[in-house]
Amino acid sequence: MTLDDLRVFIAVCRAGSLSAVARDLSCTQSAVSQHVKRLERELGVSLVERHPRGVVPTSAGRILQEAAADGIGGIDLALRRLRDLVAGDGGQLRITTGATTVRHFMSGAIVDFKRRHPQVSLEFQTVSSSRSCFDALAADDIDLAWITIGPAVRGIEQRPVVELPWVLAVAADAPLAARTRAEPPDLAAARLIRPPQRSTSRVQLDGALGELGITPTPDASEADWDTAILLAELGLGEAVVPALPGWDAAALPGLRLLPIPALPTLSVGWAVRRWDALSPLARAFADTVARASREGGLGGTAAEGVASATGAGAQPASADSGSRGR
């Protein structure tokens, strides 16, 4: 049994396909299969079940996958930290984010970090959901993930950074545009544009709407936050979105952003495998983004406009909230 055997086995369990792993590793499907078979011979149990559309781990395979993922993840983190120590002020940080994250949450922090660490290479990978971020962390493909904070995920630590109030984006010539805020009856009557299904923000939004007794129109649009406000400006519906840093109300003359005080705030922040195993550079970058939020460095007068109307805007998460996960 080798580390390569375990790494390939974990990749097969995650992908559910021998051929997909072979493509990723630039090797043959037979070579991938040999890694799995070697583990099965040594352990004396079947680890995967082969089906017409792929493979799934057996009960024994799930036990090995869980243990191996934790162990190899810790080894890889340690190896990266050692490489960072050897590199001194250089090195590479890998960060995964949603499509709107860098623009709204990190632009100023990136400039600040690069000024202090000019030799560090920052690599950003865009994904479509927090679930994809967790998968990348579990695969040890990245150092940091910026996510919408949600339920605890095994093997992942989540740390809130900022709380965002929800707003309703409506076209400037719509009847609702004259309001100072959006109330539950307004949401019930609107054709809401919401985040994509299965995203953490969508799950939390739908849960909050359900508690208010609101069932949105089934065929309403779904879009990322920036696209959602564009659709609202075009008159295709009313977008329920967080008051994102970087939205300048003066630069959105075709829209009105109405606070929705009935909805709880949305918490966003960092996810990592283990905070105490982060490299000094990764910790420095995470702290730079968090500090930018505390000092108002996130910027964006859209959130400030919301704050003036409701008394609440984008706020740093409480230091008492700590990290979530297990």
Q: How confident is the model at residue 165 (pLDDT cuts 50, 70, 90)?
A: very high
Q: Which of 30-39, 46-55, 239-248 has the highest mean pLDDT?
A: 30-39
CA 101, 143, 326, 109 torsion-angle sign = negative
Q: What is the tens place of the pLDDT at every residue in 169-180?
A: 999 999 999 999
Across 9-23, 163-177, 243-257, least confident range: 243-257
The answer for residues whose C-beta is within 8 angstroms of residue 250's C-beta and 6 or more apart is 301
- What pLDDT, on the 0 to 100 scale, is given for residue 171? 93
Average pLDDT over residues 118-143: 82
Give the single-character DSSP code of 201.
H
Give the single-character DSSP code of 27.
S
Question: Global pTM?
Answer: 0.68
Cα distances (angstroms) measured from residue 171 to each of 190, 193, 261: 12, 13, 20
- What pLDDT, on the 0 to 100 scale, is given for residue 302? 41
Does an H or E element contain 256, and which?
A: strand 255-259
Spell out the alpha helix ranges (H) of 172-259: 184-189, 200-211, 225-233
Map residue 316 onto helix, strand or coil: strand
| Higher-pLDDT residue of 304, 47 | 47
Q: Please give the structure tokens belonging to residue 94.
A: 């890998």
Residues recorded for the chain: 326
- What pLDDT, on the 0 to 100 scale, is given for residue 88? 54
- What pLDDT, on the 0 to 100 scale, is given for residue 49? 87
- What pLDDT, on the 0 to 100 scale, is given for residue 99? 67
Average pLDDT over residues 80-91: 61
Pairing mode, strands 144-148 and 91-97: parallel
| Residue pair 140/73 in contact by the 8 Å Cβ criterion | yes
| Residue pair 153/324 in contact by the 8 Å Cβ criterion | no
Q: Give residue for tokens 């840093």.
A: 245
Q: What is the tens place of the pLDDT at every residue in 136-156?
A: 887 777 889 999 999 988 888
- What pLDDT, on the 0 to 100 scale, is given for residue 308? 39
The answer for residues whose C-beta is within 8 angstroms of residue 126's C-beta and 6 or more apart is 96, 97, 98, 99
Q: Which long-range contacts (CB under 8 A, 24 or more apart) does 250-255 make?
A: 250/301, 252/302, 253/172, 254/171, 254/172, 255/169, 255/170, 255/171, 255/172, 255/229
- Residue 161 pLDDT greater than 80, yes or no: yes
- What pLDDT, on the 0 to 100 scale, is given for residue 55? 86
Average pLDDT over residues 110-132: 87
Give the single-character DSSP code of 318.
P
- Cα separation of 10 and 220, whole Å? 39
- Residue 314 pLDDT greater than 60, yes or no: no
**40 φ, ψ to 5°?**
-65, -40
Average pLDDT over residues 125-132: 80
Spell out the alpha helix ranges (H) of 88-117: 101, 107-116
| CB-based burial, 138-174: b 16+ in 10 Å, e otherwise | bbbebbbbbbbbbeebeebbbbbbbbbbbbbbbbeee
Mean pLDDT for the chain?
82
Average pLDDT over residues 271-296: 86
- Residue 319 pLDDT greater than 80, yes or no: no
Type of residue numbered 255? L
- What pLDDT, on the 0 to 100 scale, is given for residue 310? 38
